[in-house]
Every structure is written in C-alpha cells, then in structure tokens.
Amino acid sequence: MTTPSIGPLSLRDRHIATLKQMLNLNTVPSTLLKPTGVDLAWKVLIYDELGQDIISPLLTVKELRDLGVTLHISLKSDRDPVDEIAAVYFIMPTKDNISRIGKDLVEGLYESYYLNFIAPIPRDLLEDLATAALESNSQQNIAKIYDQYLDFITLEDELFCLRQAGRDSISYYALNRPQMLDVEMEQIIGTIVDSLFSVCVTLGSVPIIRCPKGEAAEIVGEKLDKKLRENLRDPRNSLFTSDSMATGALSFQRPLLVILDRSTDLASLLHHTWTYQALAHDVLDFKLNRVEIEEVDEAVTTSDGRRPSKRHTYDLIPTDKFWKQQKGNPFPIVAESIQEELERYRQSEDEVKRLKTAMGIKGDAEDLAISLLNDTTSQLTSAVNTLPELLEKKRLLDLHTNIATALLDHIKKRKLDVFFETEEKLITKQVQEKSLMEVLSDPAAGSPEDKLRLFLIHYLCTPTMTQTELDQYLTILRGSNCTHLDAITYIKRWKSISKMSVVSQAREGGTTTMGMFSNLVNKASKFAMEGVKNLVVKQYKLPVTKIVDNLMECRSSPETDDYRYFDPKLLRSADSNRSTENTMNVARNRQGFNDAIVFMIGGGNYIEYQNLQDYAKTRSTIATKHVVYGCTELVNASQFLEHLAKLGQ
C-alpha cells in the first residue's frame, strides 16, 4: 500500500516515481517508496545521451545503488559481458540505438534485457529489433519492452525542458533558419508535440490548450490536441485512465497549457539579471542543476609565480534548504544570507567546542563521535547527534560561498550591476543616469558581449531607429571589439517582418538603489561588496507572465483575445468550426484556472521561470496556484546571441 502523499505530487515526484518503477523492472508502484533490500534484483543500467540527461538531475548515484543498479554506462561505450544479471535500457528509439541493441544481443552481453524506450518505438524499428533478436537467436532473453513516455528533462518541481542546450536540433536557430525544409520543420514540431504529450501523461492530466495564432505554437497546439484526442478515443490503450487521473500531479481541476513562441519576448533572453539562480545560469557554466566553477588553487604556485586554476563541480540539490529559499532572491540578499548562515554555523561549532573543553576532550569535531564510546552524558550525545547535520551544513555553506564569490568576481569585473540597472531603466522607460552611448563607449564597463546585449535590448524596445543612429551604435560596438554583430542584422529583419508589436517588449517595473550593503560592509565579510550597487528589484510581470495571468483568470485582453482554444475532451474541437467570438465565449465562460503549464518554443530561461513562480506565490492568497514552466531548451544570453548571429549571417 502506498503512503498517502500530502497534497498533489509535483512533476518531479512523478518523473522520479516512473524512473524508480522502471529500475524495479516495472513492478507495481507499491515497492517504489522504499526498496526494502529483500528480493532486490541487481541490474545494469544502459542509457543514451538523452537518457543520461533525464536521469542525472533526478537520481543520485547512491539512489541508483539503492535501487539495485550496480553499473550505469553509456550505450555507445564498449561493454564487457556480465553473467546472470538483468540489463535495463533507457534509450530513444532511433535506428542507431536499435542496431546497437542488436550488436549487444549478438555478443550475448546480458542474461535478460528490459528495453525501455523514452518515447514510443515506431513499428518499423520494432520490426528491426525483432529481426535482430531472431537472427541472434536471443528472443527468449528479451524480457520486456516498454514505451515510457518520459521524453523531457525535469529540473525542479515546476521546471522542465525538452533537451539540454546544444544537444539537439530544436533550438531557436533550428526553428527560424531560412533554408529550413518542410520535412525538417515537421520533424521538429513532431518532437515538441511528442514531448508535451509525455508531460501530460506523466502528470496524468488532459489540459485545455491555448496558443497564439500564426506561428509554431499554433501548429504544436493543433497537433497536440489531435494526439490527446486520439488517445482518449481509444479506451483500451488510453494513457489517461481513471487511475492515472485520480493521482494527477495537479489538483482535481484540469490544468491550462499555454504554448508560446519566443518572439513574444526576445528581450528577456538577452537581459542581464540580478537573482541568484538566473545569475549563475548567465555567467557560470550551469546546466542540469550542476554548476562548474574555475577556482584558483591557492596551495600551488608555478615556477613563473602563477597560481593554476582547477574546475570544481557543485550539485545544487532540492534538499538544500538555502538554495530553495534563496535561488529567486536578488544577489545582495543572498550574499547577506550566506554571511548570516556562516555566523550561525560558527556559533554552533563554538558550542560543540565549548562542550568538548568542559568535558576535557581534545581533537577535531569529527573525533567527537569516538568519545561517545566512553561518555554517556546527554549533552554530549546531543552534540554528536547534531554533528552530521553540522558537517552537511558546512559543506553546503562552502558550496554557496564559492558560487557567490565566483558571481561577485563577474559582477565586479564586468560591472553587471550597471548593465542590469541600465537595462531595467531602458525597458521600463525610466530616466538614465548616463546615456546609452556613454555606457557603450566606456572601456571599463563590461565585456563586448555585455555591450551588445545592452544595445539589442535598446533596439528591441525602441519602436523606430533611423539607419544613421544604427550606424553610430554599430561604430561604437565595433570599436569595443564586439563579435556576433550579425545578431543586429537579424533583429533588424525580425522587426521589419514581425507582427509582434515592439511595444510588447517593454514593461513596467524598475529598480531602486538602496544604501550600500550595510550588513556586509560593516562586518568582516567574505564578500567585499564595495563598488557594487545594492539594487532592489521592483516586482513586475514579464510579457509571458502577463499573458498567463490573463488566460488563467479568463480575463479579456487585446493580447490574448484571439488565442486559439483547444479542449481535447470535447467530442468536436471547440475551435475548429467556430468564429473567434464563439471561441472566446467558450474560454471566458469558464472559471479561472489554479494550475497552468507554460511552454516556450525557441528556448527559455530562469528569469521567466522565476517571474512566473513569483506571480503564482502572489496570486495564491485566495486559492493555491501552481505554474509549471517548460521550454524547448534552457539557454543563457551567450548561447542565444550565437543563435541570433547565425540567423543574421
């Protein structure tokens, strides 16, 4: 019997539960919660590139061990035979992968094969697999074949993407390149539709779909509606049975799925940011919940007096309370919080030391546990009990101190606070302290890329700019050694043909500069914040959040009134044979939504994700609102600039 969960399960919980069930050789979910160790089948896990990307943010190596996985290895690597053990494959159904399984069967690598396909395997590939099994006379070794419908990467409870940036051809560039063939476009749309279908299956919910007219989002919306409709019409094979719906990840009310195109708001992908998680994604190597930092090794000095640097990897785990609380906060608040946590940790450590001294024990904090063997005082016992907790706290504090220090180095070196403040004022039409020309001409401010990003935001938010003005800016940018200037050519072309009004790229909001970081400057702080502005960000809705707000509240608005409306549960599409006015009546006559999935085609980022989470929190006063954010890939500004520059060539 499963333990009743408190509140609905998140997308992440359900994704993990399905993976655990798969690793339990697809046995009933009752054994999922805690492997007992009894009858635990040992197995080898074999994955392809996407399979690895899906598993790594959700299950640690220790958790894989607990589920009986003795070895996890890539499908493409050379593998030795392993006797008397089951092999669990978690791969995409591609021609290359099927032929590799055929090779494994010929070589007889494993005793039994459990083949789990991330997305459903097409008939022709299933026939190829059957042929390979018969030719190698190993059909009896294939224990089970499953379609798992897990074709997406879940990073947090309310965040998913379809592919890791740079891994696949569903990027902004792939979707917008001019020499695209119809077949290629259909392939990309098909991938997105299949992945969104997988998200719906995992959540156990059939959403109501809204999307704008005339772009990729509309095609995806239509095809997803058709796919869900066909699945619901086939009761024997429907993936939305009453069981899966009853344990739906969202509340009993059906969710809203809003599918949007990146052209809704290009500026947010180029914007400098000021919150912890988004800043880490912008300036550090941060992907799949793992951040890599180049750190100088203080202990080693080379013959020429230089100190070599080493790359350190840190996992940002969901159980890390500090990360959970602070990831959406402005950087100055995070730096102060780290300082306060360090103070608290030192007090706890001093308390342990004081106890040791009082009881005449010498040695390190870790040695304290040994003294328990010959000392039974309750005070000491409680000190020892808090020790593992203390050591874990210290590890996480060190991790955040290192990340924050790396971020601070970038902020100071590139004057990111100046760029952030200037962009906020540009977007919100506030008065600037310095003119844009002055900031772009300042050799000490930012990298060439920072300057190009700032100019592009100005260009996007300015309804008209003469060629003479544009040439002046181009001269300054060339003088600052800016590469990727082809991005300007693309934005110029995009503005001339885009139906999106440039005004929609502007928004309300802004920043105010507080006094200096009082807590940090006054104390002997690890963070030397002198010269960095203590900017407090005014809460405001990004264009995406405004659209979601209108649709969740079923509110009439010129931006969203002509959005398509699909309800896969209706016998006939609500949208197919009706006028726009009738469609709007259907949409408006509904009550508001408490749950929404927002999906961005062409790449998303942590700025939008955080803005939607802030919106959900502020709107949860009457009824709890959940907003899940998804995108084709999570891209930072550098990667997005590359896409724009390639499109401008």
Domain spans of the chain, in order of start: 11-29+38-150, 154-264+542-648, 273-297+310-359+379-413, 415-500+527-537
Instruction: Return the CATH architecture of domain 11-29+38-150.
Output: 3-Layer(aba) Sandwich (3.40)
Does 516 have pLDDT greater than 80? Answer: no
Q: Reply yes or no on whether the pLDDT at 530 is more than 50.
A: yes
Q: Do domains 154-264+542-648 and 273-297+310-359+379-413 have the same CATH topology?
A: no
Q: Which two three-digit tokens encode residue 224? A: 């997803």
Q: Residue 152 is encoded by which pair of tokens?
A: 């997406």
DSSP summary character for residue 414: H
Indicate whether 32 pLDDT > 50.
no
Q: Cβ(257)–Cβ(210) under 8 Å?
A: yes
Question: Residue 161 forms beta bridges with which residues?
Answer: 153, 631
Q: How confident is the model at residue 522 (pLDDT cuts 50, 70, 90)?
A: very low
Query: What is the per-residue pLDDT for 71?
Result: 92
261/631 Cα distance (integer angstroms):
10
Q: What is the spatial distance between Cα 632 and Cα 340, in angstroms, rounded to a whole number?
A: 38
Backbone dihedral angles phi then psi of residue 115, each to the nearest 5 degrees? -95, 110
Residue 360, C-beta contacts closer than 8 angstroms, at least 6 positions apart: none
Helix (H, G, I), strand (E, B) or coil at 69: strand
- The model's confidence at residue 112, banded by pLDDT at 50, 70 and 90, is very high
Q: What is the mean pLDDT of residues 303-317?
A: 81
Residues 78 and 46 sit within 8 Å (Cβ to Cβ): no
Would the pLDDT of 37 be above 50?
no
Residue 146 has pLDDT above 90, yes or no: yes
Question: What confidence tier does 382 reach under pLDDT thresholds 50, 70, 90?
Answer: low
Q: How confident is the model at residue 479 (pLDDT cuts 50, 70, 90)?
A: confident
Please give the helix or strand (H or E) that residue 156 lies within, else none.
strand 153-156
Q: State percent of the chain over pLDDT 90.
A: 48
What span, in angstroms and rounded, lies between the C-alpha atoms of 196 and 215? 17
**Residue 314 confidence (pLDDT):** 92
Q: How confident is the model at residue 378 (pLDDT cuts 50, 70, 90)?
A: low
How far is 296 from 348, CA to CA, in rounded Å? Answer: 29
Say whether pLDDT at 40 is over 90: no
**How many C-beta atoms lie closer than 10 Å to residue 590's C-beta?**
14
Q: What pLDDT, on the 0 to 100 scale, is given for residue 401?
A: 92
The residue among 405, 400, 412 whose CA lies nearest residue 445 is: 412
Residue range 174-206, pLDDT digits in tens? 998 888 888 989 999 999 999 999 999 999 889
Helix (H) or strand (E) holding 195: helix 182-203
Task: Return the higher-pLDDT residue of 414 and 513.
Answer: 414
pLDDT, position 317: 86
pLDDT value, residue 518: 40
User: Three-class SS string for 14-38?
Assistant: HHHHHHHHHHCCCCCHHHCCCCCCC
Tokens of 59: 């299950």
User: What gap in Å lies between CA 578 and CA 597, rounded to an integer?
Assistant: 25
Average pLDDT value for residue range 430-444: 83
Summarize the confidence of residues 491-498 as an average pLDDT: 86
Model confidence band, residue 384 (pLDDT cutoffs 50, 70, 90): low
Highest mean pLDDT among 125-139, 427-441, 522-536: 125-139
Q: Quick check: 126 pLDDT over 90?
A: yes
Mean predicted confidence (pLDDT) in 558-572: 87
Whole-number Å distance between alpha carbons of 61 and 71: 10
* CATH (one of 3.40.50.300, 2.40.110.10, 3.40.50.1910, 1.10.1030.10) for 154-264+542-648: 3.40.50.1910
pLDDT at position 381: 63
Give the burial class of 250: count Cβ atoms within 10 A of its Cβ; 0-12 exposed, 13-18 middle, 19 or more buried.
buried
CATH number given to 273-297+310-359+379-413: 3.90.830.10
Stretch 368-374: mean pLDDT, rounded?
50
User: CA dist 69 to 89, 97, 535, Å?
Assistant: 12, 21, 48
Whole-structure pTM value = 0.88
Query: Which of the four pLDDT bands, split at 50, 70 and 90, describes residue 242?
Result: low
What distance in Å separates the CA atoms of residue 389 and residue 14, rounded to the nearest whole number?
A: 28
At 505, is the pLDDT very low, low, confident or very high (cuts 50, 70, 90)? low
Whether 563 and 554 have beta carbons less than 8 Å apart is answered as no
* Residue 38 pLDDT > 50: no
